[in-house]
Structure 1
């Protein structure tokens, strides 16, 4: 099968369970992979025959702008929108990472990975 990947989408957002996290915000990284049949677009060279990665990026940015307590909740919202808005997508996998999380130690990031299949 064929895949489109958006790697290292960087977003500043206001997610977390602690009050400070929702006030000062933090850096996040999102990696997205979608599965779709890209045979037609490879032949036609037409945007209408593929999954528009600009649309994918817009979904990620719009959902990341909506505060949530948990990374899992953000990821599920993104996956749900992808499946609802882009009928060509057969499977989507997302990793959402919070950079420099407030864990009381030197941790580069924490991340979750969710996937959804049609």
Structure 2
């Protein structure tokens, strides 16, 4: 299995359960690993035979900066579905991590995150 990685894409959104999250918003980092067969794309050198990083970034941006969700689990699910649906013939599986680096909860930690895997992923 081959992979395309988009690491630490950063956006500003309004997802969360707490009032501060939905009123003030916060940064979100998204890391995505996309399982694909890249051999044909490598042999043909044609974008149509792979996944466009620019299009994936745009899809992720629209979701993270768009409609607010209470749970980052829902954000992760929307991201995985939207990217897979954009390339149904190419993407074999996807792993999505949604990271809140600064959630408004007391305590000491680097970040909180969820990670989901959909489809084939080795």
- TM-score between both structures, scaled by the size of structure 2: 0.92
Instruction: Provide runs of 4+ in structure 1 moved above 3 Å.
Output: none
2: CA distance, partners of 1:98 / 1:46: 36
Give the Cα separation in 2 of the matches to 1:53 and 1:115: 19
- Tell me which residue corresponds to 2:21: 21
CA RMSD of aligned residues (A): 1.1
- The aligned counterpart of 1:113 is 115
Matches within 5 A, 1:70-81: 70-81=71-82
What are the ranges of 5 or more consecutive residues in structure 2 without an aligned counterpart?
Answer: none
Q: Is the 8 A contact 1:14 1:24 kept in 2?
A: yes
How far 1:25 moved relative to its partner? 0.7
**Total equivalences in the alignment:** 118
In 2, distance between residues paired with 1:101 and 1:74?
15
| Rounded Cα–Cα distance in structure 1 between residues aligned with 2:69 and 2:110 | 21
Query: Which segments of 5 or more consecutive residues in structure 1 lack a partner in the other structure?
Result: none
